[in-house]
Structure 1
Amino acid sequence: MAKEECKALLDALNKATACYHHLVLTIGGSADSQNLREELQKTRQKAQELAVAIRARLTAPLRDRGLGAEERAEFERLWVAFSGCLDLLEADMRRALTLGTEFPLNAPLRPLVRTGVEGGAASVAARALSACSLRHEAERGFDVEDLHQLEREILQVSKMIHDMEMKVNVPRWTVQARQEAGAELLARPSAGVSSLRGVSVEQHTGPCDLSKALAATIFSAVLLAAVALAVCVAKLS
């Protein structure tokens, strides 16, 4: 049950990390807004909560000396996958900190990325006085406080990674995968491909050679007829 629970939590962490990665890529673009920054905050906090839960459930079995070899190998694979997720999460959090600093929400020249929206002074003023803009103006300090919080969370994730390496010694290069790289792409070959693989080279190339020979014969006959017709026309003229 502990192993299945770890797999479920790790799957949730994978999804949260992937979602956070895609959200980070939109910082500073035309879709950037306070809603995006709030969603980034919620997603990374959810990922950290899952990481804490997974660490607690993986540390105890891996430190158990009475664990069987097969069970230990499975938990070590989960541990390596978990470590990879944390590395990606930390890298994206650092990227979000850099982009958030370069593209503050309330900068006078923001947005720095051209979105194609243009207009005169009156239309710009009307958009600036919209209800959404007023709400964001009232919460001007959100992104500044969020960046400070993000810095603290990056340190927490880095400390978590360091503590993991100190408490559980599982070198990544010693863990063997259960399947070859890219095996999932070949897990369900289509019927057409399978049927073609069963045909021998001679059977596959035989009809193809006959069709090529027939096409060459027809082309030669048509070419000779065209040449003969051209000669006849030249003599009659």
Structure 2
Amino acid sequence: MAREESKALLDAFNKTTACYHHLVLTVGGSADSQNLREELQKTRQRALELAVTTGARLTVALRDKGLTTEERAEFERLWVAFSGCLDLLEADMQRALALGAAFPLHAPRRPLVRTGVAGSCSGVAARALSARSLRHEAERDFDRADLQELEQEVLQVGKMINEMEMKVNVPRWTVQARQTAGAELLSSASAGASSAVSVPERTGPCDLSKALAATVFSAVLLAAVALALCVAKLS
């Protein structure tokens, strides 16, 4: 039961980390917006919650002295997969911190043209500009607070990685994979080949006349190419 729960937690953490990775790639691009930054924050917090829960569950399991050899090997594989996902999450959080600081959503802008218009409508325009400035100010506060929170969470993940290495000593190079590298690609390729229409193979003796004709044609083609090269050099 503990192994199945650990697998489910790791699967959820893996998917959340992958989602966060794709969201980080759009920061600073044409799809960047306030909604994206808020979605980044929610996904990051969800990933951190899953990281804490999964790490605690795997730590308790690996420190259990009553595990069999097979169970310990399985939990060690889960531990290596979890630590790899955690490293990727830390790298993406650092990338999001750098991109968020380099591409603020609501940088202060100065008007390029001052019309000097004044009159009875100036009060309405002033109130509209005041409401807009308040909204932008709130959004800027969100950006600053989110970057500060993200900076603290990056340190938290780094501390979590160090504590994991001290609590459980599972060198990655000692863990054996359950299948060879690229097995999934090979299986999918073989499945695609089996689903395709098979071409019947000819098992009978080859046709000597056709083979001779192919040889003569190749010789003639090579002679023509040689002759063309000679003409090109002489000209």
Please state which band the TM-score falls in when normalised by the shorter chain. Answer: 0.7 to 0.9
Aligned to 2:46: 46
For 2:124, the equivalent position in structure 1 comes to: none
> Does the CA contact (< 8 Å) of 2:27 and 2:99 recur in 1?
yes
User: In structure 1, how many angstroms separate the alpha carbons of the residues matched to 2:53 and 2:11?
Assistant: 13
Correspondence 1:97 to 2:97:
yes
* Residue of structure 1 in register with 2:71 after alignment: 71
Which residue identity lines up with residue 97 of structure 1 in the other structure? L
Gaps of 5+ in 1: 110-120, 122-127, 221-237
SS at match of 1:9: helix
Distance apart, 1:98 and its partner CA: 0.5
| Residue pair 1:34, 1:136 contacting (<8 A) in 2 also | no
**Paired residues of 2:97 and 2:147 also in contact (CA < 8 A):** yes
Compute the RMSD of aligned alpha carbons.
Answer: 3.4
Counterpart for residue 113 of structure 1: none
Displacement of 1:64 after TM fit?
Answer: 1.2
In the TM superposition, what is the alpha-carbon distance from 1:6 to its structure 2 partner? 0.9
Q: Which residue of 1 aligns with 2:117?
A: none
- Cα distance in 2 for residues equivalent to 1:27 and 1:212: 64
Superposition deviation, residue 108 in structure 1: 3.5
Amino acid in structure 2 at the alignment position of 1:179 = Q
Residue 31 of structure 1 corresponds to which residue in structure 2? 31
Residues in 1 aligned to 2:95 and 2:39: alpha-carbon distance in whole angstroms = 16
Question: Does structure 1 residue 150 correspond to structure 2 residue 159?
Answer: no
* Cα drift, residue 139 of structure 1: 2.6
What is the one-letter code of the residue matched to 1:104? P
Over 3 Å counting, the alpha-carbon distance change for 1:212 and 1:80 in structure 2 is: farther
Structure 1: which amino acid aligns with 2:60? A
TM-score (norm 1): 0.73
The answer to whether the 8 A contact 2:24-2:95 is kept is yes
Q: Quick check: 1:106–1:140 contact (8 Å CA) kept in 2? A: yes
Output the CA distance in 2 between the equivalents of 1:211 and 1:47: 65
Shift of 1:135: 4.0
Shift of 1:54: 0.5
Aligned to 1:17: 17
Q: 2:171 maps to what in 1?
A: 171
Task: Output the CA distance in 2 between the equivalents of 1:51 and 1:143.
Answer: 24
Indicate if the aligned counterparts of 2:10 and 2:82 stay in contact, CA closer than 8 A. Answer: yes
The one-letter amino acid of 1:21's match is H
